[in-house]
Structure 1
Amino acid sequence: MARRTARTTGTAGAAGGRGTTKVRGARRPELRLPPLTPHGDGGALEPDGDYDALEFREADLTGQDGAGARFMDCALTGCALDEASLPRARLLDTRLTGVRGVGTHLAEATLRDVELLDARLGGTQLHGAVLERVLVRGGKIDYLNLRRARLKDVVFESCVLVEPDFGGARLERVEFVDCALKQADLSAATLIDVDLRGAAPLELARGVDRLSGAVISPAQLLDLAPVLAAELGVRVLAD
């Protein structure tokens, strides 16, 4: 089961547009998994399957169909998730460690009290998904699709995100801690108490106009100045 912790991430300076008000920090899951039973059947998944207190270790789930499946108090360690089909799946009080794969399909899935640790993923489809109390720590995720997803109490820590797509998503109490955020798309996104100060680099491909509700550092403001000027139609010319 998960224990929730909440913290305040400090004060927002003038760059955040909120004076010295507190930044509401994300609540993190602290998982305490029960004794787990190894999953049999060669690691095969079933649509609408129900998996409780199971351990999937080094399982090859490539191309398997787990649409609508529920994972409760589970651990997936070192599993291959290439083209795994898990739309509308529910991952609850679950830890994924060292998973890898390209094209994992998790559209409209629910992730609640989940830890994703040291993952190596590409093209993961999480559009329309709901993420609540999720920690993503370590690893690298390329082309993460979170369009129209809802993220609440989500922390990206010590990981690399390459071209993540948050288009039309709602982000509330989301933190980026020692995290590389490269060419992110925030088009039509809604940001509430999003702390970007720990993102280095912080690169926005689109959606700089959606930064209202986010907190950035003075140094990041300087880095974003050319993008902000272009968005405002300001020409910057030397004398």
Structure 2
Amino acid sequence: MVENGGGVRGGRAGAKRAAGGAKRAVAGARRPEIRLPPLVAYEDEGLEPDGDYDGLCFGGTDLADAVGPGSRFMDCELRDCALDRAELGRARFIDSVLTGVRGVGTELAGASLRDVEIVDARLGGAQLHGAVLERVVVRGGKIDYLNLRTARLTDVVFEGCVLAEPDFGEAHLTRVEFRDCVLRRADFSAARMESVDLRAVAELDIARGVDRLAGAVISPLQLMELAPAFAAQIGVRVEA
């Protein structure tokens, strides 16, 4: 009897450990560790296509309408820069910080961001479709109509920011966290998710793609709030 009882207790303990393990199964995003070297002030005007920018500080630089597709920014800081209509398709940002950047219609299609922090950005209609984001933190600020269609996001954290009508259509999200941020009218159509954590979202509003949340984790309260959308997705009518 003692052995049997011990087995039951062990089974229950194992079940508890398994349940605890399930709760911890959501892999957290790996954040960038950026240590900028002493920077040199950027004193030129505009950008060049396929330009190579290393260890530079763009402080208040007006990059509106700049043409720099394919450029590489390594160990750089872009602070309070205007990026209206800047053409930065296929640009690469590595070990860099973008603080207080602002602009409408910034073109970053196919860009690569690795070990990057974006802080207090004010952007509208930023085009990042087909981009690759790896170990990126987006903290604070407001981004309207962010286009991330077909993008690949790995180890990305959206923290304390407002994303109005972001488009994640056909994007692949792996270890992506949304913390204390606002998601309004988000589009997840045909997106793929692995270890996406939505539990700490301050406001969650999904316009399309609620059926693509497999691979995401939500809170019980969020489940209740999304219940009508889930019911509509499978054709269930809810009537009093």
- Quick check: TM above 0.5? yes
Structure 1 residue 159 displacement after superposition: 0.3
Q: Secondary structure in 2 aligned to 1:227? A: helix
The runs of 5 or more residues in structure 1 that have no matched partner are 1-12
Corresponding residue of 1:31: 34
> Which residues of 2 match residues 151-170 of structure 1 at below 5 A?
151-170=153-172
Corresponding residue of 1:59: 61
d(CA) in 2 for partners of 1:156, 1:164: 12
Q: Secondary structure in 2 aligned to 1:24? A: coil
d(CA) in 2 for partners of 1:20, 1:121: 35
Residue 56 of structure 2 aligns with an amino acid whose one-letter code is L
Say which one has the larger Rg: 2
Structure 1 residue 19 displacement after superposition: 4.7
Please identify which structure carries the higher strand content.
Answer: 1
> Which residues of 2 match residues 201-220 of structure 1 at below 5 A?
201-220=203-222
d(CA) in 2 for partners of 1:19, 1:62: 48
Residues 24-72 of structure 1 deviation map (CA, whole Å, 9 limit, x = unaligned): 0000012110000001113x10000000000000011001101000000
Report the TM-score when normalising by structure 1: 0.91
Larger RCO: Structure 1 or Structure 2 (Cα < 8 Å, ≥ 6 residues apart)?
1
d(CA) in 2 for partners of 1:198, 1:83: 33
Report the TM-score when normalising by structure 2: 0.91
Q: Secondary structure in 1 aligned to 2:231? A: helix
d(CA) in 2 for partners of 1:90, 1:177: 26
Residue 89 of structure 2 aligns with an amino acid whose one-letter code is P
Residue 137 of structure 2 aligns with an amino acid whose one-letter code is L
Structure 1 residue 199 displacement after superposition: 1.1
> Which residues of 2 match residues 76-225 of structure 1 at below 5 A?
76-225=78-227
Instruction: Please report the RMSD computed on the Cα atoms of aligned residues, expressed in angstroms.
Output: 1.3
d(CA) in 2 for partners of 1:78, 1:91: 17
d(CA) in 2 for partners of 1:194, 1:20: 13
The runs of 5 or more residues in structure 2 that have no matched partner are 1-18
Structure 1 residue 156 displacement after superposition: 0.1
Residue 195 of structure 1 aligns with an amino acid whose one-letter code is D
d(CA) in 2 for partners of 1:168, 1:63: 29
Aligned positions, number: 222
Structure 1 residue 21 displacement after superposition: 4.6
Structure 1 residue 20 displacement after superposition: 3.2
Identity in percent: 67
Deviating above 6 A after TM superposition, structure 1's stretches of 4 or more consecutive aligned residues are: none
d(CA) in 2 for partners of 1:174, 1:80: 28
d(CA) in 2 for partners of 1:221, 1:41: 52
